[in-house]
Amino acid sequence: MAIQLSKSSKERREPSCRVMVVDDSAVARGIVTRTLEEEDGIKVVASVPNGLMALKAAGNHEIDVVVLDIEMPELDGLAALPRLLELKPDLKVIMVSSASQRDADISLKTMAMGAADYVAKPKAGLGGAESFRAELVSKVREHGTGAGKAAVRHPPSPRQNAASAREEEVARNPARPNRAPSKPDVIAIGSSTGGPQALAEVLRDLDPALTQPILVTQHMPATFTGLLAEHMTRYSGRSATEARDGEVLEPGRIYIAPGGKHMLVERRAAGGTIIRLDDGPPENSCKPAVDPMLRSLAKAFQDRLLVVILTGMGSDGLKGCEAVQKEGGRIFAQDRESSVVWGMPGAVAQAGICEEILPLRKIGPAIIRIAGGEGK
């Protein structure tokens, strides 16, 4: 079968993001191609039905982002991914899979293999799923025209220079707790794009002796979050579970916000703290979202809270961190260089409300220092 080259529906000059769509379904390829080419600055330069054709096309075209299906004949997405990255190490690959448990598990594995992101196919089919198409466009644009790519191909823009200067300023003059710092009773982590790998590294680095419960909100659909908990149990050596409504926070355990619900906490009059799952509207277009978790934790734990904002697009977590800072809690953010996308941590860093901006490898040790009561 010959490689089908798509034509843009509009005349555009020098698209900022060049995409290859790989899916064995011609209908799916057509929907994804039309969805992307309706967007200014995005051009689909190749549309192919399997991994073998993708490898050939990658050798013939300048490509920034690959939208890669998992289930395909001849060479599936799981087998094609490492070969594509070997051919073009700077390529950003977004995996597209069904929301089945098997495909969700494979999608998480591909993140460890170098995939940049994933999008879950809706059960009703691609044609009627506006949320799927909106998420796909957002992630393609972010990975294809992000700061990392711009820094390689073009001189930094004034906005990027200003952001870098702000990061350096915060690093030199970090925010300090507005009262004498306390040893945290709980640790909260927020993440999105690139989060599964970052979470694995941070949790793996934690001292087994730390007793604080750890609450995690990672932007993920249902099915994925339960598997994420299983993966984090293996990586961290701690018990990680998808949070359940009404369960009591226990020392040393990791609680993952389930897809489709916000994770909150509630202090009980008789003592102890329980988890509440909230079915309210999305915040920052996310459900679960980091902001409601942090607002709830700030109210319950005040200055006895440590927050870490990891890699992710958008600014979810910023408003929640503002509430945490107001109550005297402490905030760390992942640095630009080690983030897949410096959106969420960048928003907190540039607001001047985080105490430290750290590379990923230093976040685990920093948590140990603060949560162990060593750092003031």
Q: What DSSP string runs through 180-214?
A: -----SEEEEEE-TTHHHHHHHHHHTS-TT--S-E
- Return the closest-CA partner of residue 367 out of 333, 318, 335: 333
219, 231, 262, 315: the catalytic one is 219
User: What is residue 353's DSSP assignment?
Assistant: -
Q: If 0-12 CB within 10 Å is exposed, 13-18 middle and 19+ buried, where does residue 154 land?
A: exposed
CB 53, CB 6: distance < 8 Å: no
Specify the 3-state DSSP secondary structure of 371.
helix
201 Cβ contact list (under 8 Å, min separation 6) = 360, 361, 364
The answer to whether the beta carbons of residues 150 and 329 sit under 8 Å apart is no
* Tokens coding 249: 């926070």
Active-site choice (192, 236, 338, 339): 192
Q: Cα separation of 134 and 137, whole Å?
A: 5
CB atoms within 10 A of CB 253: 17
Catalytic status, residue 192: yes
Active site residue 219: yes
Query: Catalytic residue among 117, 185, 291, 316, which?
Result: 316
Say whether 231 is catalytic: no
Catalytic machinery residues: 192, 219, 316
